[in-house]
Structure 1
Amino acid sequence: MQIRAFEDEWLVGEDQSEPRASVVLADADPISRRVLGTVLRDAAQLQYICCVDSHRPLEEWPLSQADVVVLSVGPQDDPVPIVRQLASRRIRVLLIGTGWSRYRVDAAFSAGATGCLVKDTEIGRLATATRAVASGHVVMSPQLFGLFTASPRVHGPRAVLAAHRSEARSPERLLRALTEREREVLDLLADGLSTAEVAGALTLSPATVKSHVSHSLSKLGARNRLEAVLMMQQARSMR
């Protein structure tokens, strides 16, 4: 699977030869189910199975062929039990919701979720994020980067950061490995800017920004842009 940069906030491995991922949408709101279901149904490289009321018992969900469950959550919902059960079945879970907090983001990834999106702003990117999750990537809305913490006690996305620390990749050494321009690019990405916005802020072309990101990934040993951005955020927080 080849990794390439998209104009949005994730690096997504998208190989048209790969089989389509099968997706189930779970949402308690019938209007939201209709809107999100249309996005997933019309998306290329996705096999949309159906939608289900997320308040129904998990035993009633059509999961036998599901690769990914897109689970919509409200501010008062606790998705952890469902995420744990789905993860135990080796089904990837992409959460899309509102009312995110540091605790909720940490709890979601600790339970086994592979993505967290802000529902109000990410509907248009839902299909891209779902394909990314199905391909084994971790996705997160830029607005949530500041809520994401690294802990060696937790498996999953944060284990990447813990591994770099165990290899004596201190924040200071991480920053020294990058050129000044590469640090500027990652700093802006860590602030939530898109590729196009970074290009505008630094008076560069989007292709040049992508080139700087690619070089940074090699130097940091990161698998994708999300990991590099999280590493940069951790380094900044420890200055």
Structure 2
Amino acid sequence: MSLERDLFGMDQAAETTARVLVADHDPISRHVLARVLGASAQLVVTGSVNNHQPLRQWPLDRVDVVVLAVAPHEESTGLVRQLELRKVGVLLIGTGWTQRRLDAAFAAGAMGCLVKNIKVAGLAAAIRAVASGHTVLSPELHTLYARRTPAAPSPAPAGTEHLLHTLTSREQEVMRNLAEGMSTAETAVRLRVSPATVKSHVSHVLTKLGARNRLEAVLLFQQCERSAGYAVT
């Protein structure tokens, strides 16, 4: 499995059932989304909600993924952070994506960003991928995001190998698994810990490496290992 496929692909979506909540300010849009997703295999739509309602009014019990529709100029990072703290995966769909919006969304904890005109089959696959711990991005947005995060990292600056020593041995294990293309859930199984523990380790790594999101953390970790003289697969 490749790193790009794990972080940006939809072809490794889990086969397990994912419980989904649709959040959209437009009542027609949210009802249409809820109806078509409810007809998709391996998805259970628990309900739909106006995303402008206070979060305490959202029916989040046992929800795996929130599909959050956002307008081009709508600020959603605070809401994404609150949902991420509740251990709910957030998949943003919208139009008018920019580098700044993508960067802010992933930094806030979003697990995916898609253009709103994505086909239902692709959206369903993205939801299942997010539910299994993958991060997804619409193909149309790859180039836009890559302008800030190159797929092929440049050589690490001299001295970055010291960053490895700021990570615990378990944090390094987690990053190596992610670099192999494993999802959060797969890493948890291999290391015999919970997915929440893996996410906690990744959060600590983000802080220590100064990375904006998991993709940057993995790329920087690989650079650090190269700089330190370790083999990176």
TM-score tier (shorter): 0.5 to 0.7
Which residue does 2:12 correspond to in 1? 12
Structure possessing the higher relative contact order (Cα contacts under 8 Å, 6 or more residues apart): 2
Q: State the match for 2:92 in structure 1.
A: 95
Provide the residue aligned with 1:207 in structure 2: none
Indicate if the aligned counterparts of 2:64 and 2:88 stay in contact, CA closer than 8 A.
Answer: yes
2:156 maps to 1:159: no
Q: State how far apart, in whole Å, the 2-side matches of 1:168 and 1:58 are.
A: 44
Q: 1:67 and 1:14, CA in 2 relative to 1: closer, same or farther beyond 3 A?
A: closer
- 1:109/1:157 contact within 8 Å kept: no
**Match status 1:83 vs 2:141:** no
Note the alpha carbon deviations across 1:118-154, whole angstroms, 9 max, x for none.
0023444111100010011111001111222339422
Residue 106 of structure 2 is aligned to residue 109 of structure 1: yes
What is the identity, as a one-letter code, of the residue corresponding to 2:96? G
1:152/1:158 contact within 8 Å kept: no
TM-score, normalising length: structure 1: 0.63
Structure 2 CA distance for partners of 1:141 and 1:53, relative to 1, 3 Å: same
1:121 to 2:121 alignment: no
1:135 partner letter: S
Q: In angstroms, what is the RMSD of aligned CA positions?
A: 2.3
Task: Say yes or no: does 1:44 pair with 2:50.
Answer: no
* Runs of 4+ residues deviating >4 angstroms: none
**In the alignment, residue 143 of structure 1 is paired with which amino acid?**
E
Q: Give matches, 1:1-239, under 5 Å.
A: 10-15=10-15, 18=16, 20-148=17-145, 149-150=148-149, 152-168=210-226, 221=233
Contact 1:152 1:162 in 2 (8 A): no
Q: Give TM-score, length-normalised by structure 2.
A: 0.64
Instruction: State how far apart, in whole Å, the 2-side matches of 1:139 and 1:112 are.
Output: 12
Segments of structure 1 that go 5 or more residues without pairing to the other structure are 170-218, 222-239
Q: Which structure 2 residue ranges, 5 or more long, are not aligned?
A: 150-208
CA contact (8 A) 2:226 2:232 kept: no
Deviation, 1:14, is 2.9
Shift of 1:167: 1.8
Instruction: Show CA shifts across 1:192-230 (max 9, x none).
Output: xxxxxxxxxxxxxxxxxxxxxxxxxxx974xxxxxxxxx
CA deviations 1:91-144 (Å, max 9, x no partner) are 110000011000000000000000000002344411110001001111100111
Q: CA deviation at 1:26?
A: 0.1
Distance 1:46 1:109, change over 3 A: same
Task: Check whether the contact 1:115–1:138 (CA below 8 A) recurs between aligned residues.
Answer: yes
Q: CA offset at residue 39 of structure 1?
A: 2.2
- Secondary structure at the aligned position of 1:168 is classed as helix
Q: Is the 8 A contact 2:92 2:114 kept in 1?
A: yes
Q: Which residue of 2 aligns with 1:234?
A: none
Distance 2:98 2:121 in 1: 22
Distance 1:220 1:74, change over 3 A: farther
User: CA offsets, 1:66-108, max 9 Å, x none?
Assistant: 1110100010111100000000111110000011000000000
